[in-house]
Amino acid sequence: MPNANEDKPRELSQAQRRAVSELLRVSPAADDLARRFEEAGHSLALVGGSVRDALLGRLGNDLDFTTDARPEQVLRIVRPWADAVWEVGIAFGTVGCQKRAVVAGEELTFEIEITTYRSEAYDRTSRKPEVSYGDAIEDDLVRRDFTVNAMAVALPQKAFVDPYGGLEDLAALVLRTPGTPEASFSDDPLRMMRAARFAAQLDFDVAPEVVAAMTEMAERITIVSAERVRDELNKLLLAAHPRKGLTLLVDTGLAAHVLPELPALRLESDEHHRHKDVYEHSLTVLEQAIDLEEDGPDLTLRLAALLHDIGKPRTRRFEKDGRVSFHHHEVVGAKMVKKRMTALKYANELVKDVSRLVELHLRFHGYGTGEWTDSAVRRYVRDAGPQLSRLHKLTRSDCTTRNKRKASALSRAYDGLEERIAQLQEQEELDAIRPDLDGNQIMRILGVGPGPVIGKAYAFLLDQRLEHGPMGEEAAAAALKEWWAAQG
């Protein structure tokens, strides 16, 4: 892969060797596609994140290309070649397609996006970019977010194109913008969040001038749609180093506009009212929750861990004995989670799950250190529902004390709770606790038709089931009749 700068550090040549290896792996699809563009009189280059990941030795089967061909010309070229084509992003100059290819005897499926050289910019009030097409790859690369994403490999000749020093920044593990950061963030303010996201994903540092521009222009993020902000936040949270990205959002003031509850956790403390730094505690809980994940990144768990204490600032009280209390912060926090996640356009089911975990994260501590009764265990499992496994992880992660004896005692206590749940699980169907009588049986026994009273009776029987365990239909019917008689 030719490069004009032969005197680059050794790290760069190693990166380029990795890239050659990665590019050879995807060549059956990439070269075939490039030849078709060449025959049609157009250029094609692998670009952006695909080149960056090739240089890092982690190129997947999702490939990004750029071309001087306009979208309608791209469609004419790829339709006879691809196994599937979609036009979802065509308004922004992007054509998507899918192609199966045999690589080293193995059939792989490549997800491909081809974008026409373009430039895009926001006006001061717009939430959507205005797209215009260009004719030179250098002009296309300068409009990209960071230099490490502004590299290309022209195909099929595999010539390396790096007009803005992305290879050096990649070797230095630093994020810079191809042009001035002010111009870049003015064009698309979401790039400020992308800086935090890439810092979290790649464990890169953000250049000082970029951080300064993010700080100066933080308010500009407010013109970006909630959906785009949410998607970037999700990618950041699901990254390998979310603390790094979140810290950058808070330090630059971006979080004050997109997730203000997070910087609000930086509660002041003084010599008379000492208490935990809730912000640092929350980031630590997030990291500890990540350590407990079993099947890859879990967005529900990570959101709950990050936001579990957001009710503390609103419930903080300085007591007469000098202590600081946060009574019912879990209830207040659950409501705040619903409001913020709804504003960020999260799916209703995810909002419900995260807010439920926040609401329940203190439940374990409410039972003290004594022996858990069967009734308490049933109610814990019933209230957690399908979030029980995540609640286990969140509760364990919420212990950040440096007192090893206290931490060990809490861990043993929770071990005991999980053992009690397992024991009851063998005896009862804890995952689907329901009364011993259904609605039809209740109506028949009480001699009444459908109405509010059936719901009340059902709730009574459910409470009995939680308190006493399986009762059987006969005992449940007797309890129901006794309850009904007491209703007058």
**What are the Cα distances from residue 344, in Å, to 68, 122, 224, 234, 235?**
36, 21, 11, 11, 14
Q: Note the pLDDT of residue 9.
A: 45
- Give the best-scoring range by mean pLDDT among 125-139, 240-254, 320-334: 240-254
Q: Note the pLDDT of residue 5.
A: 42
Q: Note the pLDDT of residue 434.
A: 75
Residues 435, 476 contacting (CB under 8 angstroms): yes
Distance CA 366, CA 64 (A): 52
Q: Note the pLDDT of residue 461.
A: 82
Distance CA 367, CA 382 (A): 16
State whether residue 59 is helix, strand or coil: coil
Which DSSP category does 8 fall into?
A: -
First and final CA of the chain: distance in angstroms?
88
Distance CA 393, CA 196 (A): 26
Tell me the average pLDDT across 120-133: 62
Residues 469, 428 contacting (CB under 8 angstroms): yes
Residue 375 has pLDDT above 70, yes or no: yes
Residue 132: pLDDT band with limits 50, 70, 90: confident
Three-state secondary structure string covering 202-248: HCCEECHHHHHHHHHHHHHHHHCCHHHHHHHHHHHHCCCCHHHHHHH
Instruction: Tell me the pLDDT tens digit for each residue of 430-467.
Output: 666 777 778 888 888 888 888 888 888 888 888 787 77
Residues 400, 281 contacting (CB under 8 angstroms): yes
Residues 175, 206 contacting (CB under 8 angstroms): yes
Q: Note the pLDDT of residue 232.
A: 98
**What are the Cα distances from residue 198, in Å, to 4, 206, 477?**
28, 9, 61
Instruction: Tell me the pLDDT tens digit for each residue of 36-78.
Output: 999 999 999 999 999 998 888 888 889 999 999 999 999 999 9
Q: Note the pLDDT of residue 402.
A: 73
The Cβ of residue 403 has, within 10 Å, a number of other Cβ atoms equal to: 10
Q: Note the pLDDT of residue 124.
A: 56
Q: Note the pLDDT of residue 234.
A: 98
The pTM score is 0.81
